[in-house]
């Protein structure tokens, strides 16, 4: 494959029964076009906020991810290419199987079933990094952290802290927007059991590096939701010219690391990395992370970024 071919339309439904397909059981869902069925949404067919068209080039292996990420001229072009990537066969098969079979409560909805691109302000002061979309959350709605209980908790906190326009994020096109903030995922496709492999993480990494490079001039803070995102950001920051601390700080809720860029670099030469426990159902139900704990992190981020 050349990596320049348009993305194909939805294929046949996968085998029945992705039981326990992953977290994400909130209300809402994607739009249901006439004749909607299973399988991923073809690009350019009217899904709200779809960044791609039928002509968007498709990466089908790690080399093509690197080439297409590096060659995107704008943030809009980059996220369009992210949204049609097919470089990881296991992730493509899983996300499309979930989109075809669906969960019982969402059988009447069309699932996005494609990679989840970065979303938010193109000149963010705060960048929010997570692990990967949920099978019935972002993989259903087409927007990161949208349509599941983790997103419900997260967006409520962002709204309270002045970083989101609405307290909920239900579906793409619902009027929600981030205020001087942007969300990205270290892995753009929903992985089985919410666990991407090392190879999948590394294959997807150029999308994250390219996106950070395009927003680094305005970004002052990176909030990492979970240890996976914390670890994923180190090589991204290094490739952007920031000097990594030795030893690297361990992840924890409220952990901080201030990094300086060689020669002044992007963003005035400094960026603050903040750790935050992931607002997963397990963490919120057990009290490992509470709304007050999330608010403390995002208020700290807003102050550091000059937004409060």
Q: Each residue of 34-69: pLDDT tens digit?
A: 335 678 999 999 999 999 999 999 999 999 999 999
Quote the CA–CA distance of 49 and 204 in Å, as a whole number: 22
Structural domain count of the chain: 1
Residue 107 domain-assigned (yes or no): no
Residue 220 domain-assigned (yes or no): yes
Is residue 175 over pLDDT 70? yes
CATH number, residue 205: 3.40.470.10
Q: Each residue of 79-124: pLDDT tens digit?
A: 999 999 999 999 999 999 999 999 998 989 999 999 999 999 999 9
**What's the domain range around 145?**
117-304
Residue 42 domain-assigned (yes or no): no
**0.95 surpassed by pTM:** no
Residue 272 domain-assigned (yes or no): yes
Residue 229 domain-assigned (yes or no): yes
Contact between 209 and 240 under an 8 Å Cβ cutoff? The reply is: yes
Q: Are strands 119-120 and 181-185 parallel, antiparallel or unpaired?
A: antiparallel
Residue 262 domain-assigned (yes or no): yes
Quote the CA–CA distance of 298 and 160 in Å, as a whole number: 9
Residue 166 domain-assigned (yes or no): yes
Q: Each residue of 252-263: pLDDT tens digit?
A: 999 999 999 876
Residue 12 domain-assigned (yes or no): no
The SS3 call for residue 299 is helix
């Amino acid at each position: 494959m050349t990596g320049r071919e348009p993305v194909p339309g939805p294929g046949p439904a996968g085998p029945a029964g992705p039981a326990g397909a992953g977290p994400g059981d909130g209300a809402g869902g994607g739009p249901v076009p006439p004749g909607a069925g299973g399988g991923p949404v073809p690009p350019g067919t009217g899904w709200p906020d779809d960044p791609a068209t039928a002509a968007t080039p498709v990466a089908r292996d790690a080399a093509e991810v690197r080439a297409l990420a590096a060659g995107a001229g704008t943030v809009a072009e980059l996220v369009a290419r992210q949204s049609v990537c097919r470089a990881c066969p296991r992730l493509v098969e899983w996300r499309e199987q979930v989109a075809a079979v669906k969960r019982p409560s969402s059988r009447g909805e069309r699932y996005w079933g494609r990679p989840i691109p970065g979303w938010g302000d193109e000149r963010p002061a705060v960048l929010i990094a997570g692990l990967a979309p949920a099978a019935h959350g972002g993989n259903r709605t087409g927007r990161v952290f949208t349509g599941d209980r983790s997103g419900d908790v997260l967006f409520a906190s962002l709204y309270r802290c002045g970083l989101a326009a609405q307290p909920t994020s239900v579906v793409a096109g619902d009027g929600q927007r981030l205020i001087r903030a942007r969300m990205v995922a270290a892995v753009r496709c929903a992985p089985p059991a919410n666990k991407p492999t090392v190879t999948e993480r590394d294959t997807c990494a150029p999308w994250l590096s390219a996106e950070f490079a395009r927003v680094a001039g305005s970004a002052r803070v990176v909030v990492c939701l979970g240890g996976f995102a914390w670890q994923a950001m180190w090589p991204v920051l290094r490739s952007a010219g920031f000097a990594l601390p030795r030893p690297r700080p361990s992840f924890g809720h409220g952990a901080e690391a201030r990094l300086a860029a060689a020669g002044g670099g992007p963003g005035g030469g400094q960026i603050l990395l903040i750790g935050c426990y992931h607002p997963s159902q397990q963490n919120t139900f057990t009290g490992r992370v509470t709304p007050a704990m999330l608010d403390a992190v995002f208020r700290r981020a807003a102050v550091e970024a000059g937004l409060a």
